[in-house]
């Protein structure tokens, strides 16, 4: 059984006093601190418990996960950390709340080297492409590059979410890794000039803007397309998804920038053995396919299949530049966003 506990943006001191997970010392439990929504990982954790008998407890936080573990200190009940992108798992490592898992053949054989930390402090589980959403009605081309987003032909036709959001920072960091800081500054300036409006909303809102005719192309993650296509609670999102096609940038050269969901072993994991069992399970092909199908992402294990919905987006050629190298450029990317004034919009 998965025990799900949710806490949004907790204050650090309050998080210690209101700790909702008792320190689990029993052999049959593992505690997971997760940035990923509980309902998205529940099928995966249910299968883990079915196979091992180990119960899982999940604490969901939308922010402040690293600060919470730091505040809990040596008494933290956290065993495994699950994150939704490279920036957040790097924050965990840099914040000193992870520990290395080295020489684990089970994990290393299923996760390619460019999707794991060289020091063994984090491991990618699934990937998603940072792609271009394009209007089916107003955009004829089926191929594009990130570099082209700065071309004048797209003036007034591009929508993006907050340029400082970790998804966009990851893409900008990959541009720095590929082209250098000077080129990326010029590229960002061109992109800013091509915006239809100030950056706002989330990735789904960019598809909505295309549907409404506010812009013709946008940056977004692949998995949001699957979430929109299958959204029964807000069926209007199906119309947004139907209005766009997915273009995978740079398929003819270095490939499309991908980000990861990732796992890490918490620094003071009280249930270390069970935590390793869970990490080994999550690295397996079976688990990656379950996880990838649930969240509409791609398994990192070579040969593991994405869901039929994801396959329908088209074939992705991922950029093979190590994510650790891309993540090293996050600070520069953030500084360039402010320097260029991307979030001020095209007229700012």
Other CB atoms closer than 10 Å to residue 317's CB: what's the count?
16
Q: Which domains does the chain have, with CATH numbers?
A: 2-126+260-304 (3.40.190.10), 127-256+316-344 (3.40.190.10)
Query: Which residues lie below 8 Å from residue 129, measured CB to CB, with a gap of 6+?
Result: 221, 222, 248, 256, 257, 258, 298, 316, 318
Which residues of the chain fall below pLDDT 70? 1-27
Token representation of residue 256: 């499309």
Residue closest to 117 by CA, chosen among 79, 153, 86: 86
* 216: region left, alpha or beta (phi > 0 left; psi from -120 to 50 alpha): alpha
Q: Is 33 annotated as a binding residue?
A: no
State whether the Cα torsion 187-136-163-36 is positive or negative: negative
Contacts 24+ apart (CB under 8 A), 2-6: 2/38, 2/42, 2/45, 2/46, 2/49, 2/55, 2/56, 2/57, 2/58, 3/55, 3/56, 3/57, 3/58, 4/38, 4/42, 4/58, 4/60, 5/57, 5/58, 5/59, 5/60, 6/38, 6/59, 6/60
Beta bridge partners of 261: 126
Query: Which residues lie below 8 Å from residue 234, measured CB to CB, with a gap of 6+?
Result: none
> 290-333 pLDDT, tens per residue?
888 888 999 988 888 899 999 999 889 999 888 888 989 999 99
pLDDT of 14? 31
Q: Is 224 annotated as a binding residue?
A: yes
Beta bridge partners of 242: none
User: Is the Cβ–Cβ distance between 100 and 47 less than 8 Å?
Assistant: no
pLDDT of 2? 57
User: Is the Cβ–Cβ distance between 69 and 15 less than 8 Å?
Assistant: no
pLDDT of 13? 30
User: Can you tell me the distance from the alpha carbon of 194 to that of 163, in angstroms, rounded to the nearest whole number?
Assistant: 14
pLDDT of 8? 40
The position carrying tokens 């977004």 is 220
Residue closest to 145 by CA, chosen among 216, 223, 251, 246: 251
pLDDT of 87? 86
First to last CA, the chain: 52
User: Can you tell me the distance from the alpha carbon of 290 to that of 1, in angstroms, rounded to the nearest whole number?
Assistant: 17
pLDDT of 323? 84
Residue closest to 57 by CA, chosen among 79, 72, 90: 79
Beta bridge partners of 266: 98
pLDDT of 19? 39
pTM attached to this predicted model? 0.83
**Distances in whole angstroms, Cα of residue 277 to Cα of each of 79, 200, 257:** 11, 41, 30
């Amino acid at each position: 059984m998965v025990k799900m506990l949710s806490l949004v943006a907790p204050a650090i001191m309050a998080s210690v006093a209101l700790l909702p997970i008792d320190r689990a010392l029993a052999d049959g439990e593992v505690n997971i601190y997760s940035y990923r929504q509980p309902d998205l990982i529940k099928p995966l954790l249910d299968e883990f418990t079915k196979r091992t008998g180990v119960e899982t407890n999940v604490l969901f936080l939308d922010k402040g996960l690293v600060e919470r573990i730091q505040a809990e200190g040596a008494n933290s009940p956290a065993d495994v950390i699950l994150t939704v992108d490279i920036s957040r798992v790097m924050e965990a490592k840099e914040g000193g709340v992870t520990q290395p898992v080295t020489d684990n053949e089970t994990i290393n054989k299923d996760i390619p080297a460019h999707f794991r930390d060289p020091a063994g402090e984090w491991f990618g589980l699934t990937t998603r492409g940072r792609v271009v959403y394009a209007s089916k009605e107003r955009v004829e081309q089926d191929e594009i590059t990130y570099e082209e987003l700065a071309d004048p032909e797209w003036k007034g036709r591009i929508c993006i979410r907050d340029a400082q959001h970790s998804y966009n920072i990851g893409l900008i960091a990959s541009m720095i890794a590929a082209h250098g800081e000077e080129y990326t500054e010029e590229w960002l300036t061109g992109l800013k000039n091509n915006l239809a409006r100030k950056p706002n909303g989330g990735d789904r809102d960019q598809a909505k803007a295309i549907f409404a005719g506010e812009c013709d192309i946008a940056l977004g993650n692949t998995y949001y397309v699957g979430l929109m296509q299958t959204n029964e609670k807000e069926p209007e999102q199906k119309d947004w998804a139907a209005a766009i096609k997915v273009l995978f940038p740079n398929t003819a050269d270095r490939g499309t920038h991908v980000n990861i969901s990732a796992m890490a072993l918490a620094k003071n994991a009280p249930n270390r053995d069970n935590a390793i069992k869970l990490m080994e399970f999550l690295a397996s092909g079976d688990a990656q396919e379950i996880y990838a199908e649930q969240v509409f992402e791609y398994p990192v294990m070579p040969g593991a299949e994405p869901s039929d919905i994801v396959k329908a987006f088209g074939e992705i050629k991922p950029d093979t530049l190590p994510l650790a190298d891309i993540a090293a450029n996050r600070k520069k990317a953030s500084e360039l966003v402010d320097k260029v004034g991307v979030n001020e919009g095209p007229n700012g």
